[in-house]
Structure 1
Amino acid sequence: MDSPVRVFDRRPLGRSGVSVTALSLGAAPLGNLFTAVTEQETLATVDAAFDVGIGYIDTAPHYGVGLSEERLGRALAGRDRATYTLSTKVGRLLRPQRPGEDAQPLGFVDTPPRVREWDFSAAGVRASIESSLTRLGLDRIDVVLLHDPDDHEREVYESAYAALAQLRGEGVVGAIGAGMVQSAMLTRFVRDLDLDVVLCAGRYTLLDQSALADLLPECARRGTSVVIGGVYNSGLLADPKPGAHFDYVTASAELLSAAEKLGGVCARHGVPLKAAAVQFPLRQPVVASVLVGCRSAAEVRDNAAAFEHPIPEQLWAELTESGLVAPGSV
């Protein structure tokens, strides 16, 4: 068995001077994504993350309409600021919900009475960061990402990127980048802009290696680090069974069959499919961290155990030889 990467291993984000742990905590579930999480569960989740060695946490105003940031602020209060790296995002400003106005749940439940408004202007970027600092109770944010600018590419080039670059130059933030669930636009941003990091969700997994064709090579050329989220593709790679989800919808029979074949290879080598799924992205040197969303201390510990489960090189070789993963992915 080959020694796995350790949860607490640190890797740099480009040339920014900011580093992240190899396994990181995604805080969307702490904003009541799909189901409610209690304050006690939030505290236990963050405590468990520190206990297993996770030192990078990612959040966003979008998550629970500010609830994730507020809860993280309370959970991180009193901790040594030097012991963790925190990222949040810009692109959506929050304001109080007006009487009779739709709540915009967007997958989150039991959220504060606020609504989101898209804003990638320079003023919007600064206002978003200031509001995030208030909700988090912090005096600095290590990493700021442009969040889901799929329909706002022009604004990124005209205003949002320049605002982030200026804030980085002023030392207000340490590293800047973008986070999306597609690789094509991220690739353009990496090619055209001076980004330290990109967060790509769901496009570099055991079931979908599309980012290998464009994003990862461009990041390697430019010296831009990659954080990979969505490694279980919404659950199918965690537990492949009928009714499992892929990218938030019920997986097709074809995808379910592919996941079952991957699980079969893993089983022959005595490795849980979940372990292979969470470790797979780090086979690429340009990947700095794997981001997993957790809503409980048990989920944190389970992901950490999977992340450090020994995997023989023969397993990766068989996945390639059988055509289950793209050539060059492992």
Structure 2
Amino acid sequence: MITAAAPVRIGRTDLFAPRLGLGTAVLGNFQQAISDEDALAVIGRALANGIRYLDTAPLYGHGLAEQRVGRAITQVPRDELIISTKVGRLLREGAPPDDSQFHDGVPFYQDVPSAGPVWDFSYDGVRRSVEESLDRMGVDRVDVLHLHDPDNHLAQASSAGCRALRDLRAEGMVQAIGAGMNNSAPLAELVRACDLDVLLLAGRYTLLDQTSMNDLLPLCQERGVSVVVGGVFNSGILVNPTSGAQFNYVPADNEVLAKASAIQSVCSRYGVPLAAAAVQFPLAHPSVCTVLIGPRTVEELDMDLSLFDVEIPPQLWADLRRDGLLSDDVPTPQ
């Protein structure tokens, strides 16, 4: 079972990551508000099932996710956990709306506190962000710290931001430093510019989208940088690729929907749920240390965990290659 697999070293650090972790964006009211009680129930169930890697960020629910993580982990010894959070946005009252956090005029995060995110990858801004995250979670340290979505702020993130991360690592405030984004090309730039240990790559190394094989993943192998993969279901289309399914947090276009449906057809020949193939696929790559799941409910969590127990015959992957749905150079589970 994946959750029982031996942990994998993160980069060249002394930190070892479990193969499965819990992402908390949806627990910060992403696209739908949920109660504190329901969010805490999901985290509690994950902890009870042995999940010890929790990824969060100030952006997620404008602090809600970090607060909920902090409340949920009080009964677990801190040394048993790996907590990752992110920097690059400070939560401030009166923050102007960020267009990147809206679709068709609707904010991605629902029913959130009034303090909104303000971009800041400066040296002091990064350090303030960490202090505020520690306060929200009620912990004295985090294990992994990522620059969060610096796509349009690469100059500052790769200079002052990276310097702040390196100093925090040297001071022992964090053990591993990295960056988390949805796009592989700017992550590759940061790998070249900064001394990073790990990346969080969301949605760009999945059963549907392996564009990161073109630039990022070979570079990570070359430099010994680990990769945590999020967004393995590509916003849900790799669970149920029907009309209206989302890809990249918005409705999928016909081409993407057709490819996802074709992958599902191959899985169906072998009685394998599409979601099981999606969640197991990324771990075959030698640079990938951890896959994050992001359930909204306890029932979704239980379903996600069960997907790791599904046996997938090698011929399924061979059929995907034969049908042109996977490239020959993409590693697949054995």
Which TM-score bucket, shorter chain as reference? Answer: over 0.9
SS of the aligned residue for 2:289 comes to strand
- 2: distance between equivalents of 1:275 and 1:30? 22
Contact kept? 1:7, 1:54, Cα under 8 Å:
no
Say if 2:25 is the partner of 1:23: no
Matches within 5 A, 1:90-239: 90-97=87-94, 106-239=107-240
- 2: distance between equivalents of 1:297 and 1:174? 30
SS of the aligned residue for 1:132 comes to helix
Q: Give me the TM-score of the superposition, normalised by structure 1.
A: 0.95
- 1: distance between equivalents of 2:71 and 2:2? 30
- 2: distance between equivalents of 1:55 and 1:184? 30
Unaligned residue ranges in structure 2 (runs of 5+): none
The superposition leaves residues 98-132 of structure 1 with CA deviations (integer Å, 9 ceiling, x where unpaired) of 8xx76977411111121211110100010000000
SS of the aligned residue for 2:324 comes to coil
Aligned partner of 1:253 in structure 2 is: 254
Partner amino acid, structure 2, of 1:55: R
Aligned partner of 2:267 in structure 1 is: 266
Calculate percent identity across the aligned residue pairs: 48
Partner amino acid, structure 1, of 2:303: D
The superposition leaves residues 175-231 of structure 1 with CA deviations (integer Å, 9 ceiling, x where unpaired) of 000000000011121123211100111111111110011111100000000011111
Say if 2:32 is the partner of 1:41: no
Deviation at 1:7, TM superposition (A): 5.5
Deviation at 1:8, TM superposition (A): 5.4
Aligned partner of 2:72 in structure 1 is: 75
Partner amino acid, structure 2, of 1:145: H
- 2: distance between equivalents of 1:50 and 1:37? 19
Give the aligned CA root-mean-square deviation in angstroms.
1.6
SS of the aligned residue for 2:75 comes to coil
Aligned residues: 325
Unaligned residue ranges in structure 1 (runs of 5+): none
Partner amino acid, structure 1, of 2:54: I
Partner amino acid, structure 2, of 1:14: G
- 2: distance between equivalents of 1:277 and 1:102? 34
- 1: distance between equivalents of 2:314 and 2:2? 13
Deviation at 1:77, TM superposition (A): 1.3
Moved more, 229-238 or 47-56: 47-56
Partner amino acid, structure 2, of 1:180: M
Contact kept? 1:8, 1:23, Cα under 8 Å:
no
Cα 1:217–1:127 change in 2 (3 A) is same
- 2: distance between equivalents of 1:184 and 1:228? 15
